[in-house]
Each structure stands twice: as structure tokens, then as C-alpha cells.
Amino acid sequence: MTSESFNASVHLVDRQVEAGRGDHIAITGPAGTLTYAQLAAHVAELATGLRLLGIRPEERVLLVMSDRPETAITILAVMRMGAVAVPVSTMYNGAELGTLVRDSRARVVVATPEFEPIVREALRDAPDVATLILTDTPDDTDAPAHRWADVLASGRSDQSGRSDRTDPPYATWPDSPALWLYTSGTTGAPKAAMHRHGAIKDVCDGYGDQVLGVRPDDRCLSVARLFFAYGIGNSLFFPLAAGATAILDPARPTPAGVIARVMEERPTLFFAGPTFFAALLASDAPDTAFASVRLAVSAGEALPAEIYRRFTARFGVDIIDGLGSTEALHIFVSNRPGQVRPGTSGVLVPGYEARLLDDTGAPVPDGEPGHLYVRGDSIATGYWCRTATTRQVFQGEWLRTGDTYVREPDGFYRCLGRSNDMIKAGGIWVSPMEVEARLLQHESVGECAVVAYIDGEGLEKPVACVVSAPGRSVDAGELIGFCREGLASFKRPREVLVLGELPKTATGKIQRVVVRQIAADLLGKRP
């Protein structure tokens, strides 16, 4: 057993206070502001209060919370006391949430008030849960719950009533469990990727420091929420590790709401996904809205080159696109500030290695498509209680990402899509993303997804599902001709379907499985 001590909560918070940054703003936004000294005190108090409730090291604490100071405090407090923070999506219904609560074996659930009804429903079928903590006054007409503020207050005093008796940080080490993040990833049903304390420092030292170059004067605003790997890095790990400021907003992100927050809070680093960048372009946001932002970041799915060009031309802000995953905790391939190659995911982030393999497991040369594998210290230790899936995805030191990529000779990686999204048209592989990139160059197209349609003879054909740009109308024949002019003929969509919107996940990713079904239903009705 290692004797090296490391606690991610101490690294993120206490270290800044010890460095003399206690008066600097750590967290701000419409739900409240905390300095580093205040944050450190509250984290220690809540950790002690949770211990007094009977929570033990390495026990899971599940969070159903919007982005607010209490959420950050809870995550950090759970890690400080050696327990495991499990923030989960606030988009689930009661039955879906109940499945995750049971799967995690959590005995403690913490929730913000807007999710209390859903949490109450979930707990009816989760007999292992012994403690519910609510950040507002609990509804006494239902099962009893603890007030978050009371748990915090209990940590300020020991049982004799003396103040300032908070517990010291638990003696964790880099390999101690710190954080579980649920993901469906490449294998369907939600499963918990298990992350170590040391992995949090790894992503901060690699992507946060060496790619973003986060500085103490930075202010970070993320559209992705804290319960996502992308969001927790953007809004908690990176700013706090650098002594910067995190802007937290509990409201559901909308283009209008985010623009208002950007103009009020003046962030310097802005994080979103391709779908949200497209939505911002379709909004009536003033061209000066992002004047305070020195750099924007995109992840979640590949950023089309055309969206990059439109956004930077209109708002004057560079976007660096990158590839990450819940299993890797954050981004491991990324463009660099001032060195963006539109339409690519960039180059490897320091600390990571990658390889591209064909279906037989043999390496492919530069310029040829292959299945992307990555390794680095931030990779999760596996999935909770998913032995078969863990062995499929985590292969020795390597993580199989489920993406098909091409590596260019100078080290830039270009995404061809999820491995199971590739289309074989006329016996030749077609990348949906390549066709989508072409479609987005047409002025009538606001959003699009290219999927496979199986015709009556059992053959795959590319079909484009498009949403028109504001004030534009789509001509299907014109778009097919436009693709034929800019792509090899076999890559052109055989059909164009105009939709009012594209179905998306809670993270804003296009639900291609649903799009394929919509296309099949619409085309199947044609004579």
C-alpha cells in the first residue's frame, strides 16, 4: 500500500487558502458568491456534518442538484471525508433516477429543492437509502429529511457545542476512490465510471494547465452541468486548481439565458457543445456578447468546421474543439489556442497516448480510419458492477473510445463519427460527419444529422435529416446536388428529410438512434 497522501478536495480548495488566496472569489453566480476561505470552511464543516450523520469513507453519496454553491460544497466535502461523490443527471424521471440510486447502493442522497418530488418518487423503490438531505426546508408531509444547512451547522461544533472542531481531511491517496460519473457511452444502459483522487489532479495538470492555461484571473462559465465529466472539469476542477473563479448558474441553459449570464458575469473562458454553439448562432445575441471571453471550448461531439467559422466570424472568439469522455474524466485530444484546424479534434493532450486499430486489432497507417484507443493516468478504473462491459471497454492500459478517427501525418486527429454510426454505402464506408460538414456550408441548413437508412433490398443509404436555418427554406434536390458538387458521389445523401428539430440528449448531443428511427418511419411511409 502506498504511503503517499493526496486528497483532491484539499488540492482544489485548501491549497489556495494556504497560498494566500483566501479572499479571492472561488464561486459566483445568481445563487451566491464564496471566497476561497469561505468555501474551504464550508467544505470542512459539511464533511464533518456528514460524518456525524454516519457517512463512512468510500461510501457513495448521490447528488441530484442544480449548479449552485451548495453542489460544489457537497462534492468537495464528500471527497474530503474520503467518501465517493456521485452527481447524477437532473434530467431523469423518478423511475430512471431510482434505477441509478439502487445501482450505486447509495445510502445517502442530497438534492436541491426543484428535484425533491422526483427524488421522493425514486426513493420509494430504493430501500438502501437511509438519509435524504435537502438544501431547502423539507416537505414534512412526506418521508423525513435533513436540512443541508443543519448538517453544515452541525459540523461547526462537536457534540459539546464547541466551535471550530471540524475534522481534518481523510487520509486518502491518489488511488483512493473519489468520484463516480454515470454514462451510457458506447454500451447503452447507464453505468458508473469510477475515478480516483489522483485523476482529478491529472486532468487539471494536463488539459486545464497545459492546454487552457487557466489563470487566477480567469472566470469560467460552462453550459455543461456539474453532473457531466465535461461540466465538472469546466466549472469545478479547472478553475479551483488554478485559483480562478467558477460561475455557477442553477437555471436550465438556454441561448437567451446563457447570453444574459455571459454579459452579466463577463467570463473569460466559455464551454459548450456544438449543438449549443449552433443555437447561439441562431439566436439574436449581439455580436459583442462574448467580448469578455478570451477562449471558447467545444466538446461532447465533433464541432463542424462551418459552425466554427460562423461563430468566430460573428463573435470574434476562437473555439478549440476537443475529444474527451466520461471514462477519461475530460478531454484528451484537443486543438490549441491559436493553432486551430477546423474540422479536427486537434492533437493529443500532454499525458495521453493514442492508437488507431482496424477490426482485427492491427494498427492502421496515417490517413486510414481506425478505432480510437487512448491511455493516460486519468482513465477510470472501470465500471461499477459491470465486469463484462469493463473488459470490453478497458483493455489493459487502453480505453476503447468507440470512435472512428483518422490521424493526419502531423498528429492532428479527425473524427469520422462513432464507430457504430459509420455508413457503408455501395460497399464503401461513409463518415456521417463529413457529409454533415458539407451540408452545414449551405446557407439554408441550421442543423443536420446524416444517418443510415436500410432500403427494401437491405442496403444502407445515407439520409440527411436537416433543420432549416432561421428565415430559410430547404430544397432537398438542391442540397443533394450541393453535396454531389463538394463530395464524392457515393457520399451524397440519397434523401433529405426536413425536421422541425433534431432529438438530443441531456448533454445536447444528437440522438442518432432516434434520428435513424424517424428517418425509417418517414421513408417507410412513402409509396
pLDDT digits (tens, 9 = 90+) for 413-430: 998 877 778 787 766 778
Using DSSP's 3-state secondary structure scheme, residue 37 falls into: helix
Q: Give the integer Cα–Cα distance in Å for 152 and 199.
A: 28
**C-alpha to C-alpha distances, 28 to 35, 70, 219, 250, nearest whole angstrom:** 9, 12, 9, 11
Chain mean pLDDT for the chain: 92
Model pTM score = 0.85
| Parallel/antiparallel/unpaired status of strands 413-418 and 398-407 | antiparallel
C-alpha span between 432 and 503 (Å, rounded)? 16
Q: pLDDT above 70 covers what percent of the chain?
A: 94
Percent of the chain with pLDDT over 90: 78
Domains, the chain, in order of start with CATH, read: 8-22+32-183 (3.40.50.980), 422-524 (3.30.300.30)
What pLDDT, on the 0 to 100 scale, is given for residue 186? 42
CB 215 within 8 A of CB 192: no
Q: What is the pLDDT of residue 1?
A: 47
- Which pLDDT score is estimated for 401? 93
d(CA 182, CA 90) in angstroms, rounded, equals 12
Q: What is the pLDDT of residues 204-246, one digit of tens each?
A: 999 999 999 999 999 999 999 999 999 999 999 999 999 999 9
- Burial string for 319-346 (b: 16+ CB within 10 Å, else e) reads bbbbbbbbbbbbbbbbbbeeebbbbbbb
The pLDDT-based confidence of 139 (bands split at 50, 70, 90) is low
User: In this structure, are residues 111 and 135 in contact, taking their beta carbons and an 8 Å threshold?
Assistant: yes
Cα 110 to Cα 116: distance, rounded to the nearest angstrom: 10
Q: How confident is the model at residue 95 (pLDDT cuts 50, 70, 90)?
A: confident
CA distance 89 to 64: 7
